[in-house]
Amino acid sequence: MTPLRSLAICAAAIAGVGCTKDATFNEPLPDYAAIHWVNAVPDTGQQDIRIVDIVSDAALFDANFRGSNMFYQPIEAGSRTVRIFNSSQDPVIAKQVLITTTLPLTANAGYTFIHAGFARTGGTPARTVLIIPDTPPSPDTTQVAVRAINAGAGLGNVDVFVVKRPVVATTVDSLPDARGAANVAFGSPAAYITLARDVAAADSIRVVFTTAGTKTVLAAVVAPPGTAGTPTADPIAGSRVGGSVLTAVLVPRSVAGSRAEPPVFTTPSAIYLVDRRPPHTAP
C-alpha cells in the first residue's frame, strides 16, 4: 500500500468516527445578551453596524439616519468588537470604517448602542458611540414603563415629560410643572417611569422633550399603542399593553443638504424601542 493511499484511508476512517455523536449529545448554546442599534448621526449617509471579531447575526445594515431595530437582537455575550462602515454597493466606499469600538456584554442583559453626534468636522458634539445598559422594571398587567435617552446632537440638555392626554399640536401643548427627568445631557439616559397603561386612543402616552429649564417643546412623540395578546398570538409591546417597557430616544433634525437626506427631517423627534415585552398569551 502506498503512503498516500494509506493516508487517505486513515483520514476517511477518522472522519467517519468524528461525525458520530452519542444520541444524547446536546450542542451547547452560547450565552447571549440583547441589543438595540440606533443611527442618530444627522449629517452623513447610510451605515452598516456589525460585529467583526466573531461570526454573528447581530447587526444593522443600510441604516439611514434614525434607523434602528425596535425589538432586541440576540448578541453573543463577551467582549465584542463593533465596527461601523459606510454603507454602499461600491466596495471602496463600503470598506471605509467610521468607528471601531469594544462592546462588553453580560449574558442575559440588554443594551442600547447609539451612533450619535455630528460627522462633519467642527460639529459639536462630535460623532461618538453611546453604549447604554438597559435595566427595565417589570410593570404589572395594568402598567407600562417609559424612559428617555438624549441622543439629540446640537439640542443641548433637555427636560423630559411623560404625559397622558389627547393628541394635540405640540405648539399648544400644556405641560405639567413636574418633570419626569430634568437637565438630561447629551448621551445620557433618564430613569424609567412607571404609569398606568392606556385604555383608549384618547388617553395616549407620549414623551415630550423640552429645552432644559423651560417648557419650549423640542419633540412630542406618541408612544406606539401595541397590540393585545390572544390565545393564539402573543401581544406586541406598547402603551395599551400592560407589562410593556419602552425607551424614547431623542434624535435631532437632519442637517440640510447632507447625505443624511432624503428623507428630510425638519424637526427633532423620538425613536421608540422595546426594552421589555409583555407576558406571553399564546402557547
**Chain segment 31-86, per-residue pLDDT in tens:** 999 999 999 999 999 999 999 999 999 999 999 999 999 999 999 999 999 999 99
| Number of C-beta neighbours around residue 88 at 10 A | 15
Residue 18 pLDDT greater than 70, yes or no: no
Q: Which amino acid, 28? A: P
pLDDT digits (tens, 9 = 90+) for 202-213: 668 999 999 999
Higher-confidence position of 168 and 245: 245
Q: How confident is the model at residue 7 (pLDDT cuts 50, 70, 90)?
A: very low
Q: How confident is the model at residue 165 (pLDDT cuts 50, 70, 90)?
A: confident
The whole-number average pLDDT for the span 168-185 is: 79
Peptide bond into 30 cis (omega under 30): no
Please give the pLDDT value at position 6: 40
Domain edges within the chain: 28-276
21 pLDDT band, cuts 50/70/90, is: low
Instruction: Please enumerate in sequence order all residues whose Cβ is within 8 A of that of 81, keeping only pairs 6 or more positions apart, or say none.
Output: 51, 52, 53, 100, 101, 102, 103
Please, what is the average pLDDT of the chain?
Answer: 89
Pairing, β 143-150 against β 245-251: parallel
For 191-231, the pLDDT digits (tens) are: 999 999 998 766 689 999 999 999 999 999 999 999 999 99
Question: Residue 120: which residues within 8 A CB-CB, separation 6 or more?
Answer: 43, 44, 255, 258
| Overall average pLDDT of the 151-165 stretch | 94
Overall average pLDDT of the 124-139 stretch? 96
Task: Return the pLDDT at 168.
Answer: 56
| pLDDT confidence tier of residue 10, bands split at 50, 70 and 90 | very low
Look at residue 22 in the predicted model and tell me its pLDDT.
Answer: 58
Q: What is the pLDDT of residue 23?
A: 59
Amino acid 8: pLDDT: 42
Is 60 exceeded by the pLDDT of residue 125? yes
Q: Which residue has the higher pLDDT, 6 or 129?
A: 129
CA distance 38 to 20: 44
Alpha-carbon radius of gyration of the chain: 23
pLDDT at res. 29: 74
